[in-house]
Amino acid sequence: MGFEWPWQYNFPPFYTLQPNVDTRQKQLSAWTSLVLSFCRHNKFYTMNVMEIQESPLFNNKKIQRKLPLESVQVVLEELRKKGNLEWLDKNKTRFLIMWRRPDEWGKVIYLWVSKNGMTNSVFTLYELINGDETEGEEFHGLDESMLLKSLETLQLEHKAEIFTLNDSKGVKFF
Cβ proximity to another protein, 7 vs 163, nearer residue? 163
Instruction: In whole angstroms, give the CA distance from residue 45 to residue 42.
Output: 9
Interatomic CA distance for residues 151 and 113, integer angstroms: 12
Binding-site string for another protein from residue 149 to residue 168, where x marks contact by CB under 8 A and - marks none: ---------x--x-x-xx-x
Question: Of residues 121, 133, 138, 141, which one binds another protein by CB under 8 A?
Answer: 121
Residue 91 in the binding site for another protein (CB under 8 A): no
Long-range pairs, 6-13, Cβ under 8 A, ≥24:
6/30, 6/34, 8/34, 9/34, 9/60, 10/60, 10/62, 10/63, 12/63, 12/65
3-11, 52-60, 125-133, 146-154 -> range binding another protein (CB under 8 A) = 125-133
Return the number of other C-beta atoms located less than 10 Å from residue 165's C-beta: 9
Binding test (CB under 8 A) with another protein, winner from 106, 123, 139, 146: 123
Query: Which residues of this chain interact with another protein, rule CB under 8 A?
Result: 121-124, 126-127, 130, 158, 161, 163, 165-166, 168, 170, 172, 174
